[in-house]
Amino acid sequence: MTRSEVLTGAKLRAGRKALRMSQAELARRTGYSRDTVRYWEKKGVIEARCGAFQAFVEALGLRIYSRSNARARIWGLTLLQAERERLEERVRAERARLREREVAKAAHRRVCCGARTRKGRPCRLLSEPGRRRCKFHGGKSTGPRTAEGRARIAEAQRTRWARWRREMGKDLK
């Protein structure tokens, strides 16, 4: 709803001019006097449709709304907007809840350990909750704590990556 759709005398005048109709002609067609036409065309915003104005509007085939009507339309749109925002908020809350639940489940999930045992077979024990390995294969480990321990892990990982790259390279040749 735009302001221009509010019912005004100027709107009526513009509608009449658009049809190249004189005030006298509009008066004749509606059965009112030319003074009445002039009176309504000089009015600003028109609050309620009276008989004469309604007749002019219909004679000119205009579609315009009274101010109270326009306000009701705006109010309706505001309600729609508020409703949509409430809905979006509910969807957001539901997504956050699912994500939280997923994180909580991951923290308790137990998978097959799979670490290579001394016999060369994969370990068949379940991992510690939320970890990848069982308690015998580092599932309870909280990672290296000392600088020396961290360096050792970093070195082991570098070695492992280097070996992996070498083997991939071999496959590619």
Which stretches of the chain bind Zn ion, using CB under 5 A? 113, 115, 123, 125, 134, 137
Taking the complex as a whole, the smallest distance from the CB of residue 142 to Zn ion amounts, in Å, to: 17
Taking the complex as a whole, the smallest distance from the CB of residue 83 to Zn ion amounts, in Å, to: 54
In terms of CB distance, is 14 or 123 closer to Zn ion?
123
In terms of CB distance, is 46 or 113 closer to Zn ion?
113
Taking the complex as a whole, the smallest distance from the CB of residue 121 to Zn ion amounts, in Å, to: 11
Residue type, 33: S
Total H helices, total E strands in the chain? 6, 0
Taking the complex as a whole, the smallest distance from the CB of residue 105 to Zn ion amounts, in Å, to: 22
Taking the complex as a whole, the smallest distance from the CB of residue 156 to Zn ion amounts, in Å, to: 18
In terms of CB distance, is 95 or 124 closer to Zn ion?
124
In terms of CB distance, is 37 or 125 closer to Zn ion?
125
Residue 65 three-state SS: strand
In terms of CB distance, is 52 or 123 closer to Zn ion?
123
